[in-house]
Structure 1
């Protein structure tokens, strides 16, 4: 199991100056949208000043749970606002972070805890709490687990607190329904990733805080395609593996190989800038939510996805 760490001394991880960059955007563009996330069917947004305020408040929430400069937080799950805010707050508190794939078994959770020796953990889904609690029982230091959902189990040893309780302790509640603030026509980055992307969290912070563009997240894995169409992002931040998933999604939407409709699609992609071909290609882009796409992040020295449609989008925005 791969575990990658965010070290405060490594500039390559784009984290040491994350707080400085956050303060910069909160100062120069305080009312611009920084984060968007769909929750329970509604889009919510945070402005840059909101993000800075929440991070500062979440520092207090973490301190109420005993998190300080000697503490270590391990995080796993999908990248979304709570994940980012908690990680930045832990960084602001002087602690260290480890971003790890969600364990598939109690043994994998135990290996993570044994290797990282965290004092605190963030678990996004309550169904994973049992795995982490088993590992915590064997750890001399892991004393607090923070769950993205309201926990339904209790522990006599490790403290379990929900994100909602942490927010209450921090008095942080800056999320606003997106309809109440300007959200149309803005430059937006999009990601469908989670902690299983090795090194991906540092990439995400670098692209988000480096560009000052809004960063948007789907409600859940099952709504990714629909929510991406809602956002129509200008940039994608994805691993090579996720781009392959996207290529598979495109393939599933195309007519079967050998059919006349598929030959029409292949004819379109061969020279998509002319006449009816351009119209057909634009329709595919709208179905994917890519009508405003101008940027696809790809790891250096990584070959693009073999699917010709993804390849054409990559060339177009290069």
Structure 2
């Protein structure tokens, strides 16, 4: 593949997309690493244990990864394709590739193998990163990178194995992946603009339990995932037509009801939203459930 071919603009269509240039991303990362170096930047649950990265750790890891990518031939003409759940490794690689000046692309992480092969043939990445053994097997033709090898030797003390949640500490929450169109840009921008910590669950299946442990102050979720939360709330309410459900509906319809506040408090705690103060949403949002509307009304 020639340099000339790589420079040609890509005609991308979903489920592939280009992470646009985030001009202030690295500047913001340096900013938080300088003024709040020991504050928690990222959290991720792995094998049942929470791990945390401070802002200074995050900056150093991005710099190490950039060096590792350069050693593997990544440059301004290169393309890094990412696919999988949003978590620290994926975000750090995206920032490292952008710091070099290369292109970062994402592919939805729920593609069938045949569709995946077609997309890889179209975008022709020079390097790639996908999660899970099954996924990696399908990405062998796309020069997959080994995260640990890129990062190199790391002092274990840089990653905090203890977990605690100070009541005043802010924590953004994401339980998404590259199946969220435009989602990676949203997560990076909201995280780096705010300087708040950003937390991820161990898996989509453990998201509710892990979310309850974090008790996030902000949500970075797609409209589809917010609807999933609404469905989760609905599934835990009494069936329609029963007296218990009529009581719930009556309570929500009467703002001054003490029962209404009790129900809302119970729902918030059940979903890990007792500290919630911010929900990201696109400018154009679709109709939402009564319970999500109540959550947003509470934090408005």
TM-score > 0.5, shorter chain as reference: yes
Q: TM-score if structure 2 supplies the norm length?
A: 0.89
- Picking from 199, 203, 213, the partner of 1:230 is 213
Superposition deviation, residue 178 in structure 1? 3.6
Q: Is the 8 A contact 1:77 1:195 kept in 2?
A: yes
Q: 1:200 aligns with which of 183, 189, 202?
A: 183
Which SS does the other structure have where 2:144 is aligned?
A: strand
- Alignment partner of 2:230: what SS? helix
8 Å Cα contact 2:64-2:150 kept in structure 1: no
Cα distance in structure 2, aligned partners of 1:273 and 1:34: 39
Q: CA deviation at 1:112?
A: 1.8
**1:273 CA displacement:** 5.2
Whole-angstrom CA distance in 2 between matches of 1:116 and 1:78? 20
Structure-2 change in CA distance of 1:46 and 1:271 (3 Å): farther
Q: Which residue of 1 aligns with 2:109?
A: 102
Answering whether residue 60 of structure 2 is matched by residue 59 of structure 1, we say no
- State how far apart, in whole Å, the 1-side matches of 2:53 and 2:65 are: 15
Distance 2:69 2:210 in 1: 31
| 3-state secondary structure, aligned to 2:178 | coil
Q: Is the 8 A contact 1:19 1:88 kept in 2?
A: yes
Aligned length: 286
Q: Against the structure 1 CA distance between its residues 206 and 271, is the aligned structure 2 distance closer, same or farther, given a 3 Å change threshold? A: farther
Once the two structures are TM-superposed, the CA of residue 90 in structure 1 deviates from its matched residue by 1.0
* RMSD between superposed Cα atoms in Å: 1.8
> CA 1:105 to 1:190, structure 2 compared with 1: closer, same or farther past 3 Å?
same
What is residue 44 of structure 2 aligned with on the other side?
A: 37
Residue 119 (structure 1) shift: 0.2
Among 152, 157, 165, the alignment partner of 2:149 is 165
Q: What is the 5 A alignment of 1:87-126?
A: 87-102=94-109, 104-126=111-133
Structure 2 unmatched runs, 5+: 1-13
1:49 paired with 2:31, answer: no
Q: Given the alignment, which residue of 298, 315, 318 partners 2:281? A: 298
Query: What are the equivalent positions in structure 2 for 1:8-87 lying under 5 Å apart?
Result: 8=21, 15-87=22-94
Residue 15 of structure 2 is matched in structure 1 by 2
Residues 316, 184 of structure 1: alpha-carbon distance in 2 compared, 3 angstrom cutoff = closer
CA contact 2:217–2:278 (8 Å) conserved in 1? yes
Report the CA distance between 1:272 and its aligned residue: 4.7
**What is the TM-score normalised by the length of structure 1?**
0.85
Could you tell me how far apart the structure 1 residues matched to 2:256 and 2:50 are?
34
Q: 3-state DSSP class of the match of 2:51?
A: strand
Q: Distance in 2 between matches of 1:230 and 1:224?
A: 10
- Among residues 288, 293, 296, which one is paired with 1:311 in the alignment? 293
Distance in 2 of aligned mates of 1:45 and 1:166? 20
